[in-house]
Structure 1
């Protein structure tokens, strides 16, 4: 694998995750948000664990080989780290986001979710010592600006002084995902990325569904919602995280996190094609700006 495969991996991860917003909207018509979150993470864990016991495992891991030295074994410290990552990324983040979304507007939430990219870059830069060139910094800025416009239906509808508690919870969810992104770089050095992702999904999904039971939320999933949950779980969560981890290994948390923000563009295009939602000329222009940012970042 060449260095540029990391950028391809990040873009593919963003694409797979981007389509989840449309599929989740359909599933949420009949299923409680907490059950949706728990189901898709648990599905990701189960699907990837099953794949690990088939010949497909070796094919996938062979495609994810790189010049970066990888590790085959897992220590007690690695499993502890995995638990912390699952706590922040697969449990706290979706939980905080769900309650935050319930206490603020969808417009505010869409805008504030972009702080995940900002937090990821800041943590990678100041706490984990990653480096960025001036050209790369401009690329990240282009991606961030584009993501704000593309992910927000109408900037005129943003009122951050309303729903302050909800806004704060969405920002905390974004911070939790940013912590997950940076810590996951340490586990991206493991050769078996299928195992890392599977355990993360199993831990997070089980915790979220257990919480749903604790809250007395019914776990009933209508048959018509199953295809959407299974698709999101296996592709938008499972394989998206596998590719995200591969990109972390190749190009670092800062660049991977920034490129992953293009998932908002993928989501907007998918919603336009599938649900008929608006995709204006302004969004198309800023979507192109995001892609220019990715090009500048891939120096």
Structure 2
């Protein structure tokens, strides 16, 4: 198989997997911090660490001339950004905390697997993103592995807590699809704003209900975990959305529980079990199915004007008055084009299928 056949996997798939790895790594580390930090304070501290960490990273990169040329957020993006912050940064974590307080941990872990199904369902049914049988089969294998990983034999308690956790997954599914609408803009700016706003709201609500701030050492540790597991993970997730669309990015991201479980073997000294082994096989099968997806057909690009970071490839053949360094970002126009090649529902391939 030639390297060209898999060119469409880059860079979307590695970015989605990197996002899952970073977020998955934050799970066992957060479990350690829960021994010293109130859950809602921890949720807010993780997001604030993401926001402040990314702000510092942007500042340092700009000072050294290393800041990537990305499209800034525009006025038209604000409704999508506001919705993503409300659903993904505020309501999702709030519903989760309220739900976990009303149900057992086993039920909560199983129900959290609904997030990827929610992302895919909304992408497919509401935003008309292409989802074929192969994608569904791979996603089912990954989600089944995640469910097996979370299973303790106790079943799922269908109570108010379960309903709240399901609502959290729905909120994150909406968030992922709203963020897809912003994926052409600067991902660091989006993640920074989301982290600062959502973190402030969650910490404020926790303090309002009487929670006590932990020692600065624990807050600093939570902030660092949040910078890696929320901030950098979200940046990679947004970039993956740009190249893969919401359904496929969500499917790859659902590998995070397995990554967290594997790291727990080292960090928390959890035992290696047959259940973990079988879950890994199921998730590996789903990943293999997705990596071998090859969606090719003749398709037509209508005339389109937008702004995002790009290089001059087959979809960007416009001229510049002066030589331009790549990648670069500016408002540009795509002339109508008809061709065939392997592709995902990225910024330039969001056409309908019969």
Matches of 1:151 and 1:228, distance apart in 2: 26
The aligned counterpart of 2:48 is 42
Cα deviation, residue 197, structure 1 = 0.6
The aligned counterpart of 1:158 is 155
Cα deviation, residue 224, structure 1 = 4.4
Q: Deviations over 1:95-122 (max 9, x none)?
A: 1100100100000000000011111111
The aligned counterpart of 2:178 is 183
Q: Deviations over 1:75-97 (max 9, x none)?
A: 22312321111111011100110
Cα deviation, residue 2, structure 1 = 4.8
The aligned counterpart of 1:217 is 211
Q: What SS does the corresponding residue of 1:61 show, helix, strand or coil?
A: coil
Deviates more, 1:115-124 or 1:286-295: 286-295
CA contact (8 A) 1:40 1:233 kept: yes
Alpha-carbon distance change, 131 to 277 in structure 1, aligned in 2, over 3 angstroms: same
Cα deviation, residue 74, structure 1 = 2.4
Q: Does 1:51 align with 2:48?
A: no
- Tell me which structure has the larger Cα radius of gyration: 2
Matches of 1:134 and 1:58, distance apart in 2: 45
1:20 pairs with 23, 26, 29, which one? 26
Higher strand share: 2
Matches of 1:235 and 1:108, distance apart in 2: 27
The aligned counterpart of 1:199 is 193
CA contact (8 A) 1:3 1:251 kept: no
Root mean square deviation of aligned Cα? 1.8
CA contact (8 A) 1:45 1:197 kept: yes
Higher helix share: 1
Matches of 1:273 and 1:51, distance apart in 2: 29
Alpha-carbon distance change, 227 to 3 in structure 1, aligned in 2, over 3 angstroms: farther
Alignment of 1:38-187 (within 5 A): 38-55=44-61, 59=66, 61=68, 72-152=71-151, 154=152, 156-161=153-158, 164-187=159-182
Deviates more, 1:273-282 or 1:136-145: 273-282
Matches of 2:116 and 2:73, distance apart in 1: 29
Cα deviation, residue 60, structure 1 = 6.7
Matches of 1:198 and 1:97, distance apart in 2: 22
Give unpaired runs (5+ residues) of structure 1. 63-70
The aligned counterpart of 1:3 is 8
Deviates more, 1:98-107 or 1:207-216: 207-216
Cα deviation, residue 50, structure 1 = 1.5
Q: What SS does the corresponding residue of 1:242 show, helix, strand or coil?
A: helix
CA contact (8 A) 1:26 1:228 kept: no
Q: Deviations over 1:159-187 (max 9, x none)?
A: 424xx000000000010011001110011
Cα deviation, residue 61, structure 1 = 3.4
Which structure is higher in RCO with an 8 Å CA cutoff and minimum separation 6? 1
Matches of 1:135 and 1:60, distance apart in 2: 38
Compute the TM-score of the two structures, normalised by the length of structure 2: 0.77
CA contact (8 A) 2:48 2:223 kept: no
The aligned counterpart of 2:337 is none
1:234 pairs with 227, 236, 241, which one? 227
